[in-house]
Amino acid sequence: MILVAGSANLDFVVQADHIPAPGETVLGREFKTFPGGKGANQAVACAKAGGMVTHMLLALGNDDFATPLESSLRGAGVQMHIVREPDHATGTAFICVSDSGENAITVAPGANACLRPVHLPPLDGFSHLLLQLETPLDTVCAYARAARKAGVVVVLNAAPSQVLAPELLSLVDILIVNEGELAVVSQCQGSVAECLERLQVPTVVVTLGESGCCARQQGVLHLQAAFAISPVDSTGAGDTFCGALSAALSLGHGMADALRYACAAGALACTRLGAQSSIPEATDVASLLVQQTDNNTPSRLAALRALCGLN
């Protein structure tokens, strides 16, 4: 079983020709609301794309925004441990999605900021604890400390990016970051390889967008090229990757196979609008893996090595 402890937001999404620059007003088109939040997205991905028994600890307000979040998690089969905060609104996110599939996101944490160390449920039976940074940092650290004491693997998606205390990093078994987050956490502006050298975490996974991903596990490097898709909306793709990767590792897959599975799940999440609404079923991920068996070609792996500064 996996326990995800983190945020849940109702996403307000508008499509537009492009993401506005500072001070620019852009005329949008379609507007919809979707269940989101990094924690909730990753929990749904663990259960839906990863096929893993998943629990989630989350904080919600006593308002209408909470209803679709609970419904989405319940529909994915996630068992919820809800901290109800009647004096705080449920978390929200405001997202602009461009026609090219890029997005810009502003989050109002609301009840997410009320998640405290005392709220962590017993960790008996859990193999992995999956955390993010949309809840208070001292709470994240306390959860990681408790998991380490209980012998539970600590997986941290260091997003949104911020400099992390050495104590927290010392409690993390698997760190998942994108290139920008890697630079912030490592406090290095060099190549991916140079940034990795700065981090003492046993396993660091770096997502590289449309190029794929790489991982350093106990000094061994793994590279995985991306899958070919036609992007619609990248919202939630990184969260889908995190959830699918954690599920695959919890099921006993090796890192190379887990990265391949997570890349396929993340790619499929880019083909539909929304965060949780775009997360694929495990059967869809398996189908893509069968359809694209040769994406790790020597030329693509060489390009990945160059991108990471490994040549």
In the chain the first and final C-alpha atoms are separated, in Å, by 39
DSSP structural state of residue 230: -
d(CA 263, CA 269): 10
- 239 in active site: yes
Given the residues 173, 233, 239, 284, the one annotated as active site: 239
CA–CA separation, 119 and 258 (whole Å)? 30
Token pair of 71 as six digits: 């419904």
Estimate the share of the chain in helix, then strand, then coil, as percent rounded to the nearest 5: 40, 25, 35
> How far, CA to CA in Å, does 257 sit from each of 8, 175, 290?
29, 17, 13
Three-state SS at 285: helix
Q: Please, are residues 44 and 52 in contact by the beta-carbon 8 Å criterion?
A: no
Return the residue matching tokens 């694209």. Answer: 292
Edge-to-edge strand list for the sheet holding 9-16:
28-36, 9-16, 91-98, 103-108
Catalytic amino acids?
239
